[in-house]
């Protein structure tokens, strides 16, 4: 008399991939074991079905779906610990506590259905939205600060003048210059005098752009312009003369 192994739910199936994961075996080895059992006619086509699934790379891989009888025959050759893990999994499948990976569906999609993964995906999506909003706000804030800085202090080196020490230029003006609205001095003469002052007094030296940026900050009443001198347009500072008489009358 033949004793048939039966399941409470005959439509329940377990996949070779699940069995490989439960028993810590290579999936290729589990597939080989199943094919060996079919060669021995221990199981037949009524007990299992060959299907495909997509791995994480999106590539199709072979997998078997086994019914209860085929699963029990397969694990007969495994040790007691592995058999117990598979049987426990089968009971959970029949009670509906877990779902099997079926070849008719994308394995990657099924993994994404688990509650933990779903929560993580939702959290990451929320974080990406928040990061996007913060980045946009930071860009707008940076543009506003830049506009305000240009409006208040001008562009180029001058926009940073408020962070500079202007005491050396102020000392030069006090010792070497006279504020006279009717006179002007060429920029070349002013910078030459400033350079000489720094050498003689060991005062802090500045490049030409920084010198004039500081000068305009120290003396907001002076202005810059150009005049024709010796047939050439020459940059000048009006309202300021050198104390040694270097200033010229504005006509």
For residue 217, the enclosing domain spans: 160-249
Mean pLDDT, range 195-219, rounded to an integer: 91
Residue 144 has a pLDDT of 67
Q: Would the pLDDT of 67 be above 70?
A: yes
Which has more confidence, 36 or 154?
Answer: 36
User: What's the whole-number average pLDDT of the chain?
Assistant: 78
Mean pLDDT, range 88-98, rounded to an integer: 83
> DSSP class of residue 192?
H
Give the domain-ending residue among 68, 87, 106. 106
18 and 101 inside one domain: yes
Mean pLDDT, range 214-241, rounded to an integer: 89
Burial of 133 (0-12, 13-18, 19+ CB in 10 A): exposed
Which has more confidence, 248 or 241?
Answer: 241
Residue 116 has a pLDDT of 52
Residue 43 has a pLDDT of 85
Mean pLDDT, range 89-101, rounded to an integer: 79
How much of the chain, in percent, has pLDDT values that exceed 90?
24
CATH no. for residue 202? Answer: 1.10.10.10
The answer to whether residue 71 sits within a structural domain is yes
Q: Would the pLDDT of 110 be above 60?
A: no
Residue 103 has a pLDDT of 43
Residue 105 has a pLDDT of 47
Q: Which of 12, 11, 5, 4 is closest to 92 using CA atoms?
A: 12
Mean pLDDT, range 182-197, rounded to an integer: 93
Token pair belonging to 249: 């009358």
Kindly indicate the confidence band of residue 201, based on its pLDDT and cuts at 50, 70 and 90: very high
Give the chain's radius of gyration (CA, Å).
Answer: 43
Among 46-55, 135-144, 156-165, 229-238, the range scoring the smallest mean pLDDT is 156-165
Residue 121 phi, psi (nearest 5): -65, -45
169 and 129 inside one domain: no
142 and 168 inside one domain: no
95 and 136 inside one domain: no
Please state the domain count of the chain.
Answer: 3
How much of the chain, in percent, has pLDDT values that exceed 70?
73
10, 76, 215 from 84: Cα distances, Å: 20, 11, 88
Mean pLDDT, range 175-180, rounded to an integer: 91
- Maximum mean pLDDT: which of 59-73, 107-121, 183-197: 183-197
Mean pLDDT, range 23-39, rounded to an integer: 90
Q: Would the pLDDT of 2 be above 50?
A: no
92 and 170 inside one domain: no
The answer to whether residue 50 sits within a structural domain is yes
The answer to whether residue 2 sits within a structural domain is no
Among 10-19, 27-36, 59-68, 198-207, the range scoring the smallest mean pLDDT is 10-19
Query: Could you give the CA distance from residue 37 to residue 44 in angstroms, rounded to a whole number?
Result: 8
Q: Would the pLDDT of 9 be above 60?
A: no
């Amino acid at each position: 008399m033949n004793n048939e192994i039966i399941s409470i739910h005959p439509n329940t199936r377990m996949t070779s991939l699940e069995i490989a994961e439960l028993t810590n075996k290579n999936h290729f080895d589990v597939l080989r074991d199943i094919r060996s059992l079919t060669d021995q006619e221990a199981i037949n086509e009524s007990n299992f079905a060959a299907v495909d699934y997509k791995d994480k790379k999106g590539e199709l891989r072979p997998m078997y779906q086994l019914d209860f009888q085929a699963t029990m025959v397969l694990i007969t050759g495994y040790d007691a610990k592995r058999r117990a893990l598979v049987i426990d999994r089968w009971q959970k499948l029949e009670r509906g506590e877990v779902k099997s990976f079926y070849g008719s569906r994308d394995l990657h999609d099924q993994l994404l259905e688990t509650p933990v993964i779903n929560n993580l995906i939702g959290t990451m999506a929320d974080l990406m939205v928040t990061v996007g909003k913060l980045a946009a706000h930071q860009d707008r804030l940076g543009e506003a600060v830049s506009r305000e800085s240009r409006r208040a202090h001008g562009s180029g080196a001058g926009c940073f003048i408020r962070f500079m020490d202007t005491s050396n230029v102020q000392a030069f003006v006090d010792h070497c210059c006279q504020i006279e609205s009717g006179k002007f001095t060429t920029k070349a003469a002013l910078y030459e005098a400033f350079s000489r002052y720094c050498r003689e007094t060991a005062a802090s030296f500045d490049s030409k752009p920084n010198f004039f940026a500081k000068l305009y900050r120290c003396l907001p009443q002076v202005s810059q312009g150009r005049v024709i001198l010796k047939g050439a347009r020459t940059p000048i500072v009006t309202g300021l003369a050198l104390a040694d008489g270097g200033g010229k009358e504005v006509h």
